[in-house]
Structure 1
Amino acid sequence: MSTPTHHIFRIGAVSKATGIPVSTLRIWETRYGAFSPVKTEGKQRMFEELDVSKAILLKQLSSEGHAISAIAGLDVNQLRSLSNLQNSTHLKPRAQDEPVTLAVVGLSLANRIESKKFASGLMHNRIKVTGVLVDMEAASHASFGEVPHVLLVKVNSLQTSVHSCIQTLIQKHQFAQTIVIYNFAPEAVVQAMKFSGLIVRREPISDLDLAELLQSVAFVDKKRAQEFGTSGAVIAGRKYSDDTLMRVASISTNVLCECPRHVAELIAQLASFEEYSQECLNKNSEDAHLHAYLRSISGSARSLFENALEKIAQHEGIDLLEGKK
């Protein structure tokens, strides 16, 4: 798991990050008690990352008509709940207009997504942050009243332990899609995460690219849920390695139409195309909707054919565990 990093900001940096004048931040602090920054010996105000989150939410809510005197004393979770409640009253009643719900691991990333600058890159799509976790440790103990569509994780270093923790979260909560943003990682870990169905992007990634990635993935997952008659559960990672599929394809059986060979070859081809679409989505924000759609369809088809292969293997007495990925 990642170790939480506590960033400290001067008031000028908070002003630049949030678009709130320094004079306003000082009034919110001194008159309304919105913040309790640590002051250095030189009387410099030092704010934590959580203060930046709060400032962003206070700005949004005050611009929507809430009196700063009434909301300054609320904590970040209370402010976020109030913001989500207010946003929900502005939504149209049709299902396709519902916002995409998002759980974010990492305060700095949550601050980016909740900013007005980030929202400008979402065009007509709405992203609703329903949960913010400080780090993977907090995420592992989190509970959600309603499971968000997307889990978005930001870590500095990707290691096998982080991958394992994320997989546990997915199995527990069944997010429709998981996106991981990282700074440094061994290539083997990155490839393993992509193999298991995660979207993995390396920093730096611009707000516009991240917004495009979120809306394209979320759009596809809701469409896929309708097309396949499901509740939007995540596409399962690959069950069988290329070696296993080659072994099955070469086995002689009593099935006259050679179903094991055909199905194994189809799975291998779909998995290859799924990986190709994943790479397009990871490397290029252009046509992101199309790449996400192709990845979703190929992944769903691959998963269905894997289920079919298991039925064939059971009928033919083929051991799929040998060489299983």
Structure 2
Amino acid sequence: MQASFNPVSSEQPRYRSGAVARMVRIPVATLRIWERRYQVVGPALTTSGHRLYSGADVERLLLIKQLVDQGHAIGSLARLPMASLLEIADARAVLAAPADATPPVRARAALIGLGLPRRLGAIAVQRVATWADLVAAEQAMAAAPDDAPLRAELLVAELATLQPESASRLLALMRQLGAEQAVVVYGFGPEVVAERLRRAGCSLHRAPMDDAALRALVSTLAATTTGLPRVLASTGTAPVPLSGAAAVPPRRFDDDTLVQLAAASGTMACECPRHIAELVMMLAHFETYSAECVNRGPDDAALHTHLHRVAGTARAMFEDALARVAEAESLPLPGG
């Protein structure tokens, strides 16, 4: 049985006020003022009256907080669309540069992973496409008109596992895009495959990778469009159990939710939520990897079936632990 795993939409309301305030690093009272007086965001209300904010709301609040810290008045920012806010952030970067400096070129970036727009935030790249996975990327490239092909200097992807086939498809996608750069943040994969991508100029990173580190890396690579390493990242793909494997509970939390839980817990004295979220992500990635491993015979297949079952069971147990800790610490959970 294949476990269902659908990335949560960035528009789906799921974060309560306290959690959002911790992620944005502002008092809850400030969040209330921004919302009521300036209508910066419009959270949904539950039947019990609790405010729920979406991932897109959090991304907007993070960008506005950054601009307010730089001296902009909240009243002048509150009603602006995200595109205008990003332009202000980019313009400030240009003004901060020396007078004789060449204005920075905004590299075009294609993203694989629905959680990447939120994770990357307001960095100075022009996002030309965001795809859920490699299949969606390949379909979009095939459908692009010949007289207006999709082009990007930078490819950023998130992959739970790295296999010979996926590496070949990533390199082919880079050629189609004309991408000069790429980062691979991945869960598990054979070292020989990782080395192949390194030789092709890719910079590989093992998951989990926190948002700040990812933003810094992509910003550095996007600073110029030539002569830089290539960057790819990790996509949450549902594990495909091996033949004969016992069913394991489906994933409760996708990678984007786990990254946000880890980031939210980073503002607290107790770091147990962050550590457990990272364990859940690693176990989920190994669960997928063990299901994809090449088998050399019946005994090998039986071993990988066992590993897949053990990883899935352990992942489900740690998800239960994470839910209990998140509830105790008032951290956001999907549908909470």
Could you say which structure has the higher helix fraction?
1
Higher relative CO (Cα under 8 Å, sequence separation at least 6) belongs to 2
Q: Which has the larger radius of gyration?
A: 1
